[in-house]
Structure 1
Amino acid sequence: MNRAVLQSRWCRFPLFILLLLAAAMGSGCKKEGPYPNHEIEIVIPFAPGEPADIAARIIQPKLSELLGVPVGLVNKPGGGGALGTFAVAKAPPDGYQVLATSSSVFTVLPATASNLSYSLADFTPLGSYLSDWSVIAVAVESPWKNLEQFVEYAKKNPGKLNYGSPGAGTVSHFAMEQLKQFYKLEIEHVPFSGAVQVKEALLTGQLEVAAAGLATLAPLFQSGELRPLVTTAEDWLPKYPDIPTMYEKGISDFPMRIGMGLFVSAGTAKEISERLSGALATIMQDPAVYAAADAAGLDVDYRNPDASGKVLGIEAVVIRAAAEEFQMKN
């Protein structure tokens, strides 16, 4: 083989390598397929056992089925829901991180906490789907058989009682503060990192009274371990018609709903948010979801994205005014 032939072959070899590299780079730069094409992460900014967590677990299998990809659940509690909410606000707007939260992170928390690092404008609502009510309760061994007896004791013993909530800035915290203001009670607030810890503290005698979501406390009402005193619902609850409402007692001018909704970060492409919101709308027509919600003590309360955002805006204004009246801003 002569020298000229060898040189010719070696000159063509780098060109061959370059063509291979270009092909590899080209395949790596291809656009992803239609959304979704890999696992979606649902971020719940509360601890397991909270109403938002219970609600998300009801729809999670259906979402995975409809979207055709795995849907994982990640609890990121802290700051009354602020920690997990902020994480999704700053997530890439690609639809692969979805916030499943209660309305309090957009209504009560902004009205009571200073220097929040997010706002509703950082999100695109996908719709609300279930709701819960907060309940103020005591242990069954408690001497207080009803709200009137509890209030009478608290008035006669200022500063001697404490109460627990799932955290500062939650609907349950707000409800108990309303009750304190209305009756002029001196009761110390003990914030916990979730409703599960609250109910355990109540059962073990660490707390005299607590406020938490009905979905969390309902099993203990049914077992007779806890006694409900009052709820934030607008009307009597069908399963618990003996629980009076703060609304009927004149304690609150408005019902305090714990609404559950899904959100993605602002800037998410319209076709992606519509794919997710459409899946949620379909899920909320499933009788199995109704049955699961009823068993968990939650109400089906579906609203489309536009209605969901408008309701949150209205609730935020009303709650902010009440928080200012009660001087609840931290």
Structure 2
Amino acid sequence: MKNRMTQVIAGATFAVGVAVATGPAFAQDADWPTSQINLVVTFGPGGSADRTARALAPELQEELGVPVNVINQDGGGGHVGFTYFTNMPADGSHFLLTSLNPYLANAIQDFDADYSLSDFAFINTQWNDSDVFAVNADTPYETLSGFMEAAKENPGELRVSVVPGSTGEINIKLAMEAFDVPSDAINIVTYESGGAARTAVAGGQVDMTVISADGTIPIAEQVRPLAVASTAPLPDWEAPTLNTVLQENDLETVPVLLGSMRGMAAHAEFKEDHPDLYERMVETYRTILEDEEFVASLETQDIGAEWLGPEETTKIIEENAEVLERFSGPDS
């Protein structure tokens, strides 16, 4: 595996050398962009990140007046693509348009990467997965606080299904910490797929699941949502956010640990050297996501169209990275 990864990264590095040698040099800031812009996707064609990039590319092309190309650089859970991007010129010719979270933070930790979060200037994430805390509809629990109190009163009796290594597994642990529920008071049962974890709660094998909300919609009638791990309530679920629940119970809030966050980032150097151009890309992206016709077309493709903006996107990714690092150890 290590040799294979070395070969893949070596191939990406070769591609970097070719691109640097042949890529266009941009003129003065006022003229930007003068040539093709490349959107780097760190996963293969056909996936959610790729579909997001290919939906956005023609809109960017129309707004900026230059060709916009999508480049797939997959491998290593995104590491190959992130390596490729950081070796590209920081002149506004390349932007990341991919699943940024949790893959960037995981790649930095797992591969001892030569890049860090500070090498990226995050612009926005438009398609963000959030976890739902959902109990079997036949259970008596109406609130998350009630579920946690029951866990304290009857330690070891309640069961929660998650997928190992998922944000759902970490979100239930964060909630337990916030409610001061002992780690052994709830049985966290792992399933190798989201489908299996959902089937378990729908069938009553477990009391609750913490898992991607979008994927749980098909069993909505068989479960009761108690909370969502998101920055705001989700349209498909009548449930408060986890932090709203915590605030209502006079408890400290926790980082909003989202699932896959698909969106755009620039080189940090590009933002530092060309702040006006960076802001132009920010405003261009925002304008596109304010186009009702375009947003409607995204909805028909089940692609998100949120606007968090640079500050909120950066805050969430940095907070998530800290949480992911804390729970990455074998004894987490």
Which interval holds the TM-score relative to the shorter structure? 0.5 to 0.7
Determine the structure 1 residue equivalent to 2:327. Answer: 328
Instruction: Determine which structure has greater relative contact order: mean sequence separation of CA pairs < 8 Å that are 6+ residues apart, divided by chain length.
Output: 1
1:82-103 CA-partner distances (Å, limit 9, x unpaired): 5543442334445245243345
Q: CA deviation at 1:110?
A: 9.2
1:37-56 matches, within 5 Å, as 37-38=35-36, 40-44=38-42, 56=53
Instruction: Verify the 8 A CA contact 1:45 1:85 in the aligned structure 2.
Output: no
Determine the structure 2 residue equivalent to 1:286. Answer: 291
| Higher Rg of the two aligned structures | 1
Q: CA deviation at 1:178?
A: 0.5
1:135-164 CA-partner distances (Å, limit 9, x unpaired): 235586885765467654795436965411
Closer/same/farther in 2, CA of residues 84 and 29 from structure 1, 3 Å limit: closer
Asked if 1:300 is matched to 2:302, the reply is: no
Number of residues of Structure 1 aligned to a counterpart in Structure 2: 281
Determine the structure 2 residue equivalent to 1:6. Answer: none
Structure-1-length-normalised TM-score: 0.59
Instruction: Verify the 8 A CA contact 1:139 1:227 in the aligned structure 2.
Output: yes
Aligned-partner SS, 2:126: strand
**Structure-1 separation of matches of 2:58 and 2:133:** 32
Aligned-partner SS, 1:136: strand
Work out which of the residue numbers 69, 72, 86 in structure 2 matches 1:71: 69
Determine the structure 1 residue equivalent to 2:9. Answer: none
Partner amino acid, structure 2, of 1:300: E
Instruction: Verify the 8 A CA contact 1:48 1:54 in the aligned structure 2.
Output: yes
Asked if 1:121 is matched to 2:127, the reply is: no
Closer/same/farther in 2, CA of residues 156 and 59 from structure 1, 3 Å limit: same
Give the superposed CA RMSD.
Answer: 4.9
Determine the structure 2 residue equivalent to 1:130. Answer: 126
Instruction: Verify the 8 A CA contact 2:24 2:35 in the aligned structure 1.
Output: no
Partner amino acid, structure 2, of 1:283: I
Q: CA deviation at 1:283?
A: 0.9
Determine the structure 2 residue equivalent to 1:264. Answer: 266
Aligned-partner SS, 1:177: helix
Q: CA deviation at 1:205?
A: 4.2
Aligned-partner SS, 1:100: strand
Determine the structure 2 residue equivalent to 1:157. Answer: 156
Partner amino acid, structure 1, of 2:126: L
Asked if 1:179 is matched to 2:179, the reply is: no
Q: CA deviation at 1:41?
A: 3.6
- Show structure 1 runs of 5+ residues with no match: 1-27
1:91-127 CA-partner distances (Å, limit 9, x unpaired): 4445245243345456x759987945432221233x2
Aligned-partner SS, 1:301: coil
Determine the structure 2 residue equivalent to 1:22. Answer: none
**Structure-1 separation of matches of 2:222 and 2:320:** 32
Instruction: Verify the 8 A CA contact 1:140 1:225 in the aligned structure 2.
Output: yes
1:135-150 matches, within 5 Å, as 135-137=131-133, 146=142, 147=144
Asked if 1:88 is matched to 2:85, the reply is: yes
Structure-2-length-normalised TM-score: 0.59
Closer/same/farther in 2, CA of residues 235 and 38 from structure 1, 3 Å limit: closer
**Structure-1 separation of matches of 2:217 and 2:47:** 12
**Structure-2 separation of matches of 1:150 and 1:245:** 15
- Show structure 2 runs of 5+ residues with no match: 1-20, 28-32
Closer/same/farther in 2, CA of residues 62 and 320 from structure 1, 3 Å limit: closer
Instruction: Verify the 8 A CA contact 1:132 1:213 in the aligned structure 2.
Output: no
**Structure-2 separation of matches of 1:252 and 1:213:** 24
Q: CA deviation at 1:210?
A: 4.5
Instruction: Verify the 8 A CA contact 1:89 1:264 in the aligned structure 2.
Output: no
**Structure-1 separation of matches of 2:44 and 2:23:** 37
Aligned-partner SS, 1:288: helix
Determine the structure 1 residue equivalent to 2:197. Answer: 202
Closer/same/farther in 2, CA of residues 319 and 257 from structure 1, 3 Å limit: closer
Instruction: Verify the 8 A CA contact 1:40 1:72 in the aligned structure 2.
Output: yes
